[in-house]
Amino acid sequence: MVRVKKCPKCGKEMEEGYISLMSGMRWRSNGDRGLVKGELLFRGSWWGFSTLKLALRCKDCGLVIFQY
């Protein structure tokens, strides 16, 4: 992962941490509605354990950056 030290939106320092997800993350394009599941970006884990992805966040902007 590229280490961004400054938020690209406000320029303040970003904090390194992790995003925790149970079943994975999907991408939906604008207009995708209803039963469309979207493209699976990464698969979560099984048996109730979460998947951790390294991420950076800006608390002030609410921006999170991570690589899937």
DSSP for the chain?
Answer: -----B-TTT-PBPEEEEEEESSEEEE--TT--TT---EEEEE--STTPPEEEEEEEETTTTEEEE--
User: Tens of pLDDT along 40-60?
Assistant: 888 877 666 778 888 899 999
Domain count, the chain: 1
Q: So what's the pLDDT on residue 6?
A: 93
- Higher per-residue pLDDT: 47 or 67: 67
Q: So what's the pLDDT on residue 12?
A: 94
Structural domain range at position 56: 15-66
* pTM as predicted: 0.69
In-domain check, residue 1: no
Q: Is the pLDDT of residue 68 over 90?
A: no
In-domain check, residue 25: yes
